Structure 1
Amino acid sequence: MENITVQEVKDRLDNGEDFCFIDVREVWEYEEDNIGAQNIPLAEIPHKISDLAELKEAEIVIHCKSGKRASQAQMYLRQQGFGKVINMTGGIDAYRAAGF
Structure 2
Amino acid sequence: MSVKQTIEDKIQRALSPDHLEVINESHMHSVPPNSETHFKLVIVTSAFEGQRQVQRHQQVYRLLGDELDAGVHALALHTYLPGEWAARAQAPDSPQCLGGGKSG
Q: TM-score range by the shorter chain?
A: 0.3 to 0.5
Scaled by the length of structure 1, the TM-score of the pair is 0.37
Q: Which of 1 and 2 has higher RCO (CA within 8 Å, sep 6+)?
A: 1
Normalised TM-score (structure 2): 0.36
Q: Which of the pair is proportionally richer in helix?
A: 1
